[in-house]
Structure 1
Amino acid sequence: MPQPQLVLVYEPEDACRNRLAAQGFSERHALEISSYLAQSTDLALEFEAITEACGRRSIRFVPTALDEAGPVLASADPGATLVWTLTDGIAYFRGGAAPALARLGGLRTIGAEDSLFALCQDKFRSGAVLSALGLPVPPAGLARDGEWLVASPESATGYFAKPNRLGAKIGIWPDSRCEDADDALVISRRVFAAYRDDIVVQPYVAGRNVRASFLAVDPNAGTEALGVFFVDSGGDFQTMADSMALYGDTGLAAKAEGGYAEPELVPVAASQPESDRRIREIADALMPGLGLKDVFSMDFRVEQDDTVHLIEFEVCPGLPCFDFRAYCAAQWDLSLPDAIAETAARRLAVAPT
């Protein structure tokens, strides 16, 4: 019988940059866009440790760059293979192809079904689905290059404008919190010129930033295993510059220059247990209602009066990021390599159905 194997599919930053450059993006903007893939750079530094952790569990670890995934997955034994996709993406990134290829070959996967790898990267459409599920997401307008595709909602608190397909951080400048809808249209022109993307325009919501992380090391784990933390970085929201200083190639350079500072993580339950309870209720609704499972994260804004705003969900959370490492240690008492290996081992121990 073949040795069980974990195939981790990742998209490298440099491969993305080269492809974007060939499409005519400037060097600067290609670098900014590709920084979304920083976890592939950071996790590669631990491939040896993950190999060792998997080896202790009699599993072969096969890290595979996305461009090489087709033949690797096509030749894999469905009875002995588990596929873990590190990156989502439908536009600038292509990681959503990996779980689809796995499904085509009848291979087992870690994570959500492949349709969610596309949905989570389209913030306007995912927000519409979350709203239809009755969850507390801010209403949204959609603009492209200075024109409304969907009119902005009314707001007495100002607006927050962000690129639609590049996540909540990429392309955000300090003036992304703006006073009126006309200001948002100005931002939409800048985003379109730089990144060829639409923008989502939402009423600004106050509160502290919260990250909820989930990894089902135990396949039977439910939302009791969710890690819910305030992420206090000293700013109201994270800009592009803030993000690039934390992760990937640019993050490594920042660390070398002494410019790296991890935000503080504080358990929400310690000061606002009602907000913690509400966030777990939302996760309880999303897991069956949307199909989230195995590994995911959610971002919230939480106000002092326990008003909770769901901002987005991710099916490929940043595994090597400081917050996910802290979660693995706090919830599972495992290092990141051991958490990855143990999650895979428990699933590969069960015969495929």
Structure 2
Amino acid sequence: MAGQRPTLILVHEPERACADRLLVDGFSRQAATEISSYLAQSTDLAPEFNAIGDACERRGLGFRAVELDDAAAVLASADPRHSLVWTLTDGIAYFRGGASPALARLNGLKTIGADDSLFALCQDKFRAGAVLTALGLPVPAAGLARGGEWLVEPPASLSGYFVKPNRLGAKIGIWADSRCGVAREALGLGRRVFDAYRDDVIVQPYVAGRNVRASFLALHPYAGPEALGIVFVDSGGDFQTMADSMALYGDTGIAAREAGLYAEPELVQVGSAQPRAAEKIRQVAAKLMAGLGLRDVFSLDFRVEADDTVHLIEFEVCPGLPCFDFRAYCRAEWHLSLVEAMAETAARRLSR
């Protein structure tokens, strides 16, 4: 029990627990490893749990890291007056982290981050796209296919198409050929995704431009879009594949870096190169915060063209906190390490 002492409860789903469950469900070992790799931020942050605890201690807080399978019992016994729940990993399909904010709400606990409805929405990219379009945001139109059959046909496109899983990841194309020329090829890719991962695919007209990540942490409770960190993420490739994603995080990321197979992408401030584009991104973030309810901590991914046209690709309610880009954001915006930024954010919420 958290007791009377103000306590930050960090709920996370470990990679191994997810992979074991997928194997029992009949996924191949390769697919289970690839899918569970999206939870590698739990692996990457675990060595810093003691440091987070120390940083919380310096601010008069307790700290408890809780694995998702234990969250129901822990949150049911937590004191609503003195507990704050921060969910590290989301998920409604392969992953189950979206249950954490729902459990917190069930038990009357305060949370860091968006409400549980957005944890569900952000994991279904087709539905999320429909909502974002209704809000007037610059989201590429999309078709939806399941196992080689159209559920919704994509719009015509002279630039070809980009194919990505609907509930697995957000912007990755899985394979290097995920950009294709015609809709028929997109259906073929959809069959491959369904066979490997049992997921539908979104098929969007390909949009040109550079990849941009916008990171947000409201260290001050009333921080707004001005606290957004907006950077080009130049990794050398046009888009991220499954292999690229696995090289970023967890044990596979460590192995890739030690073998010299991966280097962190260069981060360049968008505002220094394309200030008009940066301002458009802040306007999009403001609409998402006001119209959708994003708050506290999130990230946005864009494609930005040379003429400052911006395309919103996705929003994340559980950004990769231990990843290089979010750590860099904490240093640049808040002049704190990730550990200190997390503890300070919690302290300011619990003191209100």
Q: Aligning the two structures, in what range does the TM-score lie when normalised by the shorter sequence?
A: over 0.9
Question: Shift of residue 169 of structure 1?
Answer: 4.8
| Cα deviation 1:156-180 (Å, max 9, x = unaligned) | 1000000000123556101000000
> After superposition, where does 1:240-319 map in structure 2 within 5 Å?
240-319=242-321
- Say which of 175, 178, 188 aligns to 1:176: 178
| Cα deviation 1:258-287 (Å, max 9, x = unaligned) | 333100000000010000000000001000
Amino acid at match of 1:315: V
1-structure distance, mates of 2:19, 2:91: 14
2-structure distance, mates of 1:180, 1:239: 20
Amino acid at match of 2:13: E
1:200 partnered with 2:219: no
1:73 partnered with 2:75: yes
Figure out how many residues of one structure are paired with residues of the other and give that number.
350
- Equivalent residue, structure 2, for 1:15: 17
Runs of 4+ off more than 3 Å: none
2-structure distance, mates of 1:86, 1:170: 20
2-structure distance, mates of 1:62, 1:294: 20
2-structure distance, mates of 1:95, 1:188: 26
2-structure distance, mates of 1:285, 1:170: 25
SS in 1 for 2:208: coil
SS in 2 for 1:313: strand
Contact conserved, 1:169 with 1:240, CA < 8 A, in 2? no
1-structure distance, mates of 2:331, 2:162: 34
- Equivalent residue, structure 2, for 1:321: 323
Amino acid at match of 2:81: G
Q: Give ranges in structure 1 of 5+ residues lacking alignment.
A: none
2-structure distance, mates of 1:5, 1:170: 36
Contact conserved, 2:155 with 2:205, CA < 8 A, in 1? yes
| Cα deviation 1:293-352 (Å, max 9, x = unaligned) | 0000000000000000000000000000000000000000000000000000000001xx
| Cα deviation 1:101-140 (Å, max 9, x = unaligned) | 0000000000001000010000000000000000000000
Contact conserved, 2:149 with 2:187, CA < 8 A, in 1? yes
2-structure distance, mates of 1:32, 1:42: 16
Over aligned residues, Cα RMSD in angstroms?
0.9
- Equivalent residue, structure 1, for 2:93: 91
| Cα deviation 1:222-257 (Å, max 9, x = unaligned) | 000000000000110111111111111211222332
1-structure distance, mates of 2:144, 2:208: 21
2-structure distance, mates of 1:193, 1:312: 24
Contact conserved, 1:36 with 1:170, CA < 8 A, in 2? no
Contact conserved, 1:152 with 1:201, CA < 8 A, in 2? yes
> After superposition, where does 1:105-116 map in structure 2 within 5 Å?
105-116=107-118
Contact conserved, 1:32 with 1:170, CA < 8 A, in 2? no
2-structure distance, mates of 1:276, 1:338: 27
1-structure distance, mates of 2:86, 2:123: 18
Amino acid at match of 1:229: V
2-structure distance, mates of 1:71, 1:123: 31
SS in 2 for 1:174: coil
Contact conserved, 2:141 with 2:155, CA < 8 A, in 1? yes
- Say which of 128, 131, 140 aligns to 1:129: 131
Contact conserved, 2:41 with 2:323, CA < 8 A, in 1? yes
1-structure distance, mates of 2:128, 2:91: 13
1:104 partnered with 2:119: no
> Structure 2-normalised TM-score?
0.98
Contact conserved, 2:163 with 2:173, CA < 8 A, in 1? no
- Equivalent residue, structure 2, for 1:219: 221
2-structure distance, mates of 1:130, 1:22: 36
SS in 2 for 1:152: coil
- Equivalent residue, structure 2, for 1:45: 47
| Cα deviation 1:167-214 (Å, max 9, x = unaligned) | 235561010000000000000100000000000000000000000000
Contact conserved, 1:14 with 1:34, CA < 8 A, in 2? yes
Worse-superposed segment, 250-259 or 103-112: 250-259
SS in 2 for 1:46: helix
- Say which of 320, 336, 339 aligns to 2:338: 336
